[in-house]
């Protein structure tokens, strides 16, 4: 018995507008931001409590905060341009 050939839909037919839109992206950013804040708080607590006020810890903390702020700003701007 000959079976009819299976037709797989091409990827170019897939539309993702239902799943990728500004509110969804904002929600992803918000969830990730909350997760990031929790882990960052734990890290900063460790650095403050056990870092022995070391110069390297202060440099690391500053670098971490500045780059994080920059990347969050860029991702927010990316959403606004989306």
Asked if 29 and 79 count as a contact pair (C-beta separation under 8 A), the reply is yes
- Closest distance to another protein from the beta carbon of 59 (Å): 11
**What number of chain residues touch another protein (CB under 8 A)?**
42
Closer residue to another protein in complex, CB, 3/49: 49
Decide if residue 69 touches another protein (CB under 8 A): no
User: Which residues touch 40 (CB under 8 Å, ≥6 apart)?
Assistant: 64, 68
* x-or-dash string of contact with another protein, 26-65, rule CB under 8 A: --xx--x---x--xx-xx--xx-xxxxxx-xx--x---x-
Which H or E run includes 23?
Answer: helix 22-50
In this structure, are residues 39 and 26 in contact, taking their beta carbons and an 8 Å threshold?
Answer: no
Q: Decide if residue 81 touches another protein (CB under 8 A).
A: yes
């Amino acid at each position: 018995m000959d079976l009819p050939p299976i037709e797989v839909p091409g990827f170019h037919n897939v539309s993702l507008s239902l799943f990728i839109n500004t509110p969804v992206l904002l929600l992803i950013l918000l969830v990730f931001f909350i997760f990031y804040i929790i882990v960052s708080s734990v890290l900063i607590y460790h650095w403050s409590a056990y870092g022995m006020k070391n110069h390297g810890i202060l440099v690391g903390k500053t670098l971490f905060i500045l780059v994080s702020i920059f990347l969050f700003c860029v991702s927010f701007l990316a959403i606004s341009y989306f």
